[in-house]
Structure 1
């Protein structure tokens, strides 16, 4: 099972303020402005001194490569993988394809055939619980998947709210062929 990662799509959704708050809370020191578009940050780590160029706005033409470089530098300085660092900044990821197992089904809604389900799947190198609400046939497939322990896949818009991952607008829900 895997998740399809297009990091450019993730990076486009990362706010510069999120990056700044992360740097401040992980021992990075703001050094000086760089032109009008960025600031330079430094950190002393076991491997030596690291430097980052933090864009001030997402409207820059090179925002994605700059944030990709910034994320790789943070990962090196903290002895973590690129995806582990990138996952710290996920708050919104549209059109995410997931594969996993239904591990929980809430009682169906009384007024229509629907309910909340929890799918466990890898998201950026970590197993995570993702909550979603399924309707009609998709909800029936989720029940079958849960009862028979069959893997599922679907696409949706992943958001993180209060440290909980939620898949909104689920579509193309199906049981995987084994």
Structure 2
């Protein structure tokens, strides 16, 4: 079964350069311009013929999310994988998102301060991922409790992928996930 993603916000958060780089490294070639707003990219498959992606030239186009959605569907077909796998490769930033997870490691304790880096496992685009963040004060104390007692947490922030590592920047609203704990 193949899952098709329909959330416009996810596609709006895929950066054009990420998609362009992905296409270049996977054998796609830019063929020609289309109405000054897009570029037609092609890939020839020996047994299945030629595939086409209409790559927007700017992110501020009204149909940007639609074109990115179509591109990820085509890539999933060509690469014989799910659209979620393609999105996972392309997604570099998700602003103001809430992560549900489990703290797996407390990395650094900053001397004389209640702060430090933590590593948690959370679900990003239907895939369990390691996420790093830095917490301070009350959030850090809650993180220590969650780590020691293996309690699930919720935390909101700006998710960024740097060198295939997810980092939650500007973390806030760090809480223990009471919904799971009450069941």
**d(CA) in 1 for partners of 2:139 and 2:131?**
16
**d(CA) in 2 for partners of 1:18 and 1:170?**
24
Q: CA deviation at 1:20?
A: 1.5
8 A contact 2:15–2:92 mirrored in 1: no
Alignment of 1:128-147 (within 5 A): 128-147=129-148
Say which structure, 1 or 2, has more relative contact order (CA 8 Å, 6+ apart).
1
**d(CA) in 2 for partners of 1:94 and 1:6?**
18
How many residue pairs get aligned? The number is: 174
Alignment of 1:1-178 (within 5 A): 7-45=7-45, 47-177=48-178, 178=181
Q: Which runs of 5+ in 1 are unaligned?
A: none
Q: CA deviation at 1:134?
A: 0.8
Q: CA deviation at 1:10?
A: 3.5
**d(CA) in 1 for partners of 2:18 and 2:117?**
30
8 A contact 1:29–1:42 mirrored in 2: yes
Aligned to 2:109, the other structure's residue is in SS state coil
C-alpha distance after superposition, 1:83-139 (max 9, x if no partner): 211111222110111111100002421131111111111211222110011111111
Q: Point out 4+ residue stretches in structure 1 off by more than 6 angstroms.
A: none
Q: Which runs of 5+ in 2 are unaligned?
A: none
**d(CA) in 2 for partners of 1:92 and 1:136?**
26
